[in-house]
Amino acid sequence: MTAPFDFTSSTASPMKTDIAIIGAGPGGYATALRAAELGLSVMLIERDSRVGGTCLLRGCIPSKALITASRTVDAVHDGARMGIDAQLTSIDATALGAYRQHAVDTETNGLAGLLAARHITLVHGTAGLAPDGTVTVTPAPHESQVRVGASLDTLEDAGDAVSIDATDVVLATGGRPRALPGMPFGGRVLDSTAALELGTLPQRAIIVGAGSVALEFASMWRAMGADVTLLVRHDTPLSHAHRRSAVVLTRELKRRGITIVNHAHVTAANQTSDGMNVTVTIDDNVGGTARTTSIDGDYLLVAIGRDPNTAWIGQAGIELDDAGLVVTDEHGRTNRPHVWAVGDITPGKQLAHRAFEQGIVVAESIAGMNPTAVDERTVPSVVFTTPEFASVGRTTDEAMQLDGCLEVRETIYPVMGNARMVMEQAGGSLSIVTGRLPGMPDRTVVLGVHIVAPLASELIGQAEQLIGNSIALDAAARLIQPHPTFSEMLGEALLKADGRPLNTR
């Protein structure tokens, strides 16, 4: 093991370490924490002034804080149905912003404490990778010095360039929001970061996109009282997800007052003194004569995906695919020896929890262990709308296309047979895909679970365990679910799939 760099000494050059990690988001910090746990010296390099990356600073944590607040609004409005006379008098946008920031501060400070406790050296600056594998760090934007320290509280100036000699380098540079062609972000054209940091709540919001970010903002802003128009390119949001679940979620979002326009393409967006005017082409007949309309709103949120931060990585001789993503093997190795990649810059689902596991796999691989590679089929997807959407594993079509997969069947559970769903008066759906996998022809297993329901995010972890461990369907169906809970839906669906339904036909 290489000794940790003595950042108090100005004579140490270059800095030596076992692992240099570029990017302190979920993939980067998970790699750092696990590697340090295994006794390796680690340097974690980050351009931002705080650790955590998009997830903690500008994504998962602040957005879910606001979504939590919006559900309190929903609960107030729903009280009358249960005989509770509650009224919502106002929403204090300033206090709401402070609540969001408190959630971010709590998580990022906790992470910073973990990194310090594991003796991980932090380097604040912009990293580059030289042909010989040396990592060169220059000052972060708006800084004049690279700063190095054992914690965020003890960073010290280290000059206008720092060289790091690492045995292994891990790339974890994440991504950035994608803009509409010819329509850069700015003013009232928002990316997700700007939308989270608005000092006021929109009264009329126009959102372009059909994925989790677009749907979560649509659901949250609608709960907060905004008129929301969602512009979708295809015939439904989540067009690549489980079809039945996507259709049911679309129905529920419309039922909550969100206007969803399918087959819509933004052709122009003009900022006015107090809002946006957006020109939209709508192809109702898909290939027929399209019609053009204009929509007015306070803001235009563009949430059409994210692009990887890999331009400089490709210039460093790392192989990229056509989408600009880093090509790796299943354990994260790139085409250059001792250079690895994790997170949103690699092909696959751009999700924090996937990046966590990738980081663990890479750290253990570097340490000489033989970890099991990330199983992409067991990476759950969650959309924190109201109701929530959660999915893991294969759809029926995907299972049927798998060579050697036999007896594929989809079981649909009638969710209003669940007592908690009745109490909540929540629409939803639950589908289980089962079949016999190649190499295991003697037993039926769960291949996929797709849920639209309150707390679907909390149910999907149980489904992931069944799929990831290839639990036989009859054994899974015998697991006892507490009563009365939403989780009983999964238990009842498993019983139905096993041919012995109890409370359904």
Query: Residue positions in the annotated binding site?
Result: 64, 209-216, 305, 344
Q: Which residues line the annotated binding site for NAD(+)?
A: 209-216, 305
Q: Which residues contact 122 (CB under 8 A, 6 or more apart)?
A: 24, 43, 44, 46, 51, 115, 148, 149, 150, 151, 152, 155
SS3 of residue 169 by DSSP: strand
Concatenating the DSSP letter of every residue in 309-365 gives S-HHHHHTT--B-TTSPBP--TTSB-SSTTEEE-GGGSSS---HHHHHHHHHHHHHH
List the structure tokens of 310: 């890999």
Strand ranges in 62-134 using DSSP code E only, listed in sequence order: 121-124, 126-129
Do 298 and 195 form a contact (C-beta atoms < 8 A)?
Answer: no
To the query of whether residue 338 is one of the catalytic residues in this protein, the response is no
Marked catalytic residue, from 102, 119, 240, 483: 483
Which residues partner with 169 through β-bridges? 20, 339
Question: Per the omega criterion (within 30 degrees of 0), is the bond before 484 cis?
Answer: yes
Annotated binding site for FAD: 64, 344
Q: Which residues of 250-263 are buried (b: 16+ CB within 10 A; e: fewer)?
A: bbbbeebebebebb
**Cα angle at 458 between 457 and 460, to 5 degrees?**
70
Q: Which amino acid is at 369?
A: M
Positions annotated as catalytic residues are 483
